[in-house]
Amino acid sequence: MSSVRVRFAPSPTGYLHVGGARTALFNWLYARHMGGTFVLRIEDTDSARNTADAVRVIFDGLHWLGLDWDEGPLPAGGVRGDRGPYFQSERRAIYDRALRRLLDRDQAYESDGAIRFRMPRKKIVVEDLICGEVGFDCTLEQDFVIQRKDGSPVFHLVNVVDDLEMRISHVIRGEDHLSNTPKHLAIAAALGETAPRYAHIPLILNRTGSKMSKRDVGASLSEYQEGGYLPQAVRNYLCLLGWSLRENREVFPIETAIGKFELNQIHGSNARFDADKLLWMNGTYMRSLSVEEILPHARIWLERTGFPIAKWEQDYIKEVVLLVKEKVKTGKELVEWARPFFQEEVSFEEGAVNRFLNPAGVQALRELLDDLSEAADFASSALEARFRKLAQAHETSVRTYVHPARVATTGREVGPSLYHSLTILGKERVLHRLRRAIETFAS
RNA sequence: GACCCCAUUGUGUAGCGGUUAGCACCCCACCCUUUCACGGUGGUAGCACGGGUUCGAAUCCCGUUGGGGUCGCCA
């Protein structure tokens, strides 16, 4: 282990912001790149907010993204690491000690029942690993509160004390904290300690171009978890916001990012969140990952929709996922496309019926039904041959049969390869659905 | 308002003194094709502006403009 120690210090607000997730990712990448330590610290000093469920959300989000931490609270309970506690709510004695020290040294004083930090009136330079040297003229800076009237310590104090106590070497955080850094540097100095190095990463902006906030669509990581996104894809996309491989390559395994990640090549400019690109990237992952890799996710997506997939054979589910994953971009879409395979009653789309189950379509279904009834081999290649032969016999294109057949068996006019779909459904169910459609739409 | 950060097509980025300014998403056209995707080919679109420095500037400096952030007894 190197001496690099970084941390992700979220406040349990009940959701994990994509910006926060990206901050966690960059910290994690740096730790893994340097062979350092990634610490998770929960900044739950604001007791007004709930914590139990909110902390769970953070655990789940990080776990989903595959960001494991070397020190911090464990989801199952307990802790790992010897520089804890890792909940700020359990560190009160430490803050009191720091406060005492500042008071004793006359670096802080009481005022109106609160304790204020004596901000040095001078120029302070932040040597930021990303932004470079940033000078702040603090000669007119006001003293600020570090302990409230009710005795509770304030963010600026606890944040710095914790980073010091936990021996954090690099603070990698959002650029919205850059302006706070002179305060933090001053506190560390007043405590007689060496401050960590700072690296302020650009913010993630919403569609409109302002800081992505809780209210924005797509701001919460849970939206992607629930929308059927693959964590690998989300993680990969997040890597691209403010950082790049510089190789004209944007889809890459996380190991590659770990190998190449450097703080000094992170951008200084904010990045707008592009939902379209993330969607595209999810699609590429959907296609490139093996069925085995997709399957666990697919089971979750399918179960969440309420399909009784438990009653199906593992191999059957696998076949369906393999068939569909090539054509869809999200789990949500995958579920829709998989619906006909897990739901016996076909739900027909109105437009599809109007277009393809008209008299001509129904007639085509009759011919097809006669033909397929004879089929001994229901393999997709055999089916394709039958369709073509049938079309030839009637001097028409295979489309004449393909479209009505797709609507009759799946209820939809778009979907995966029809021949393969029919094979997976099996002869019995296909014939049944053809008959059913003929009866229903005959008149 | 003060202070700070930033500035390459609509978006994300490559570029780090000499390039026909590259790549990806998006959009458009064509090809492939059982639908939809995928894939392939091609296309539209960019160095915010003004001064310098230099033989030469997207690249360095200054200013302007624009965008963002911070200015809590929130974190």
pLDDT (tens digit, 9 = 90+) per residue, A273-287? 999 999 999 999 999
Nearest protein residue, CA measured to C1' of B13: A244
C-alpha span between A442 and A435 (Å, rounded): 10
Residue A104 included in any domain: yes
Q: A276 with A294, same domain?
A: no
Residue A211 included in any domain: no
Asked whether the beta carbons of A320 and A339 are under 8 A apart, the reply is no
Q: Peptide bond before A85: cis, by omega within 30 degrees of 0?
A: yes
Q: A29 with A165, same domain?
A: yes
The nt closest to A148 (CA vs C1′) is B73
Distance in angstroms: CA A183, C1' B72:
14
Q: What is the ipTM of this complex?
A: 0.95
CATH number at residue A367: 1.10.10.350
The nt closest to A401 (CA vs C1′) is B34
The CB-side HSE value for A138 (13 A sphere, CA atoms) comes to 23
Residue A213 included in any domain: no
Which residue ranges in chain A fall short of pLDDT 70? 1, 46-50
Nearest protein residue, CA measured to C1' of B15: A246
What per-residue confidence (pLDDT) applies to A49? 60
Q: A374 with A391, same domain?
A: yes
Distance in angstroms: CA A234, C1' B13:
17
Instruction: Check residue A309 and report its DSSP letter.
Output: G
Catalytic amino acids of A?
214
**b/e map of A88-114 (b: 16 or more CB within 10 Å)?**
beebeebbeebbeebeeeebbeeeeeb
- Taking alpha carbons only, the member of A184, A405, A173, A389 closest to residue A266 is A173
As ranges, strand B nucleotides with an atom below 7 A of a protein CB are: 3-8, 10-15, 22-26, 34-39, 67-75
What per-residue confidence (pLDDT) applies to A50? 61
Boundary of a domain, candidates A205, A234, A254: A205
Which domain, by its residues, includes A335? 290-343
C-alpha span between A80 and A72 (Å, rounded): 5
CATH number at residue A21: 3.40.50.620
Q: A425 with A441, same domain?
A: yes
H helix count then E strand count, chain A = 18, 13
Backbone angles phi, psi at A208, to 5 degrees: -75, -20
Distance in angstroms: CA A278, C1' B50:
38
Q: A272 with A369, same domain?
A: no
Confirm or deny that A122 is annotated as ligand binding. Answer: no
C-alpha span between A41 and A163 (Å, rounded): 10
Q: A195 with A111, same domain?
A: yes
Q: A268 with A197, same domain?
A: no
Global pTM reads: 0.95
Residue A100 included in any domain: yes
C-alpha span between A434 and A404 (Å, rounded): 9
The nt closest to A42 (CA vs C1′) is B75
Nearest protein residue, CA measured to C1' of B4: A179
C-alpha span between A315 and A300 (Å, rounded): 16
Residue A212 included in any domain: no
Q: A225 with A102, same domain?
A: no
Q: Which residues are CB-neighbours of A60 under 8 A, at least 6 positions away? A: A16, A75, A225
C-alpha span between A161 and A261 (Å, rounded): 28
CB atoms within 10 A of CB A392: 11
Residue A432 included in any domain: yes
Q: A352 with A335, same domain?
A: no
Distance in angstroms: CA A161, C1' B7:
36
